Structure 1
Amino acid sequence: MIKILFICHGNICRSPMAQFVLEDMVEKAGMRDQFMIDSCATSREEIGNGVHYGTKDKLRKEGVRMHDHRARQLTKKDYEEYDYLIGMEETNIRNMKHLLGGDPEHKMMRLLDFSDHPRDIVDPWYTDNFDITYTDIVEGCEAFLKTLKK
């Protein structure tokens, strides 16, 4: 089983969006039982809060199934449990390394590092543009799955 943890600052916009998008992709590909997918935050600001309404609205429009999710913070146990710790931007990676004391097994990377155009995924909390975030996340998840198939 491939264990993937998506991580962003608050775990209410980008990382749950990536979680639900990838879950949808693997479900449609008939590979759901081969993956464990979750998401969390580097900060404590949103712990216990649900998914941002902008993320919910965008995923509903795209027909991506969601389930109940509450923000939680990344832990050292997560590093042991997951194969991939995928951040949305370079700041997430820096904060992940700080929280966990480094990345000795090289499990941390940005989602769009798997794509042909590596870059950060902008935080829609600040931009209010969930369309761009969704497009970037789909690009990253498709590239990630393509990488796994190799």
Structure 2
Amino acid sequence: MQIGVLFVCLGNICRSPMAEAIFRNLVNERGIEERFIIDSAGTGDWHIGEGPHQGTVKKLAEHNISTQGMYSRELKRNDYDRFDYIVCMDESNIQNALPMLGQKDSLKVFRLLDLLDVPKDVPDPYFTGDFEETYQLCLKGCKALLQKIEEDNNMEH
């Protein structure tokens, strides 16, 4: 059985595709990609069908991480059933995502950085322009997420 991981941000062009690509890369490095379904989505519909933001593409390319085949999509109600972990980039993403998923609250919907010692929102580089900060936070968060998933599912490290 595959483990579904969905990353969610506002427009699905900066933070969530960055986290998706980083997480996919971590999983590929471990050789366990067949165990996962990994995707990202946005709570807004402004960028549906667009590829990731150039800042995201450029930052990931610096680390040899591909965004090929990634396109923005809007979060859908059936994503709640399709994914085991719905990982939002900030608190407002959670507040926007829950009703879109038909939920009032859910343990499977949480912020990426809630897994770290300093839980906080991942700043949106669409507004801050700081793709390096977003990359570093997503990398730390994705490593913690993979560790959590391995523990939750009794996977070997």
Do they superpose with TM above 0.5?
A: yes
CA-atom RMSD in angstroms: 1.1
Q: Extract unaligned runs of 5+ from structure 2.
A: 152-157
Q: Distance in 2 between matches of 1:105 and 1:115?
A: 19
Give the number of equivalent residue pairs: 150
Comparing 97-106 with 16-25, greater Cα deviation is found at 97-106
The aligned residue for residue 49 of structure 1 is: 50
Structure 1 stretches (4+) deviating beyond 4 angstroms? Answer: none
In the superposition, the TM-score normalised over structure 2's length comes to 0.91
- How far off its partner does 1:46 sit? 1.0
Q: Distance in 1 between matches of 2:36 and 2:102?
A: 26
2:6, 2:87 within 8 Å by CA — same for their partners in 1?
A: yes
The aligned residue for residue 71 of structure 1 is: 72
Q: Extract unaligned runs of 5+ from structure 1.
A: none
Percent pairwise identity: 39
Comparing 32-41 with 62-71, greater Cα deviation is found at 62-71
1:115, 1:144 within 8 Å by CA — same for their partners in 2?
A: no
The aligned residue for residue 146 of structure 1 is: 147
The aligned residue for residue 90 of structure 1 is: 91
Q: Distance in 1 between matches of 2:12 and 2:82?
A: 18
Q: Distance in 2 between matches of 1:10 and 1:3?
A: 20
SS of the residue 1:62 aligns to: coil
- How far off its partner does 1:146 sit? 1.3
Letter in 2 for 1:125: Y
Q: Deviations over 1:80-126 (max 9, x none)?
A: 11101110000000000132232555210001111121110000000
The aligned residue for residue 35 of structure 1 is: 36
- How far off its partner does 1:136 sit? 0.2
Letter in 2 for 1:145: L
Q: Distance in 2 between matches of 1:116 and 1:105?
A: 21
Q: Distance in 2 between matches of 1:72 and 1:40?
A: 5
In the superposition, the TM-score normalised over structure 1's length comes to 0.95
Comparing 64-73 with 30-39, greater Cα deviation is found at 64-73
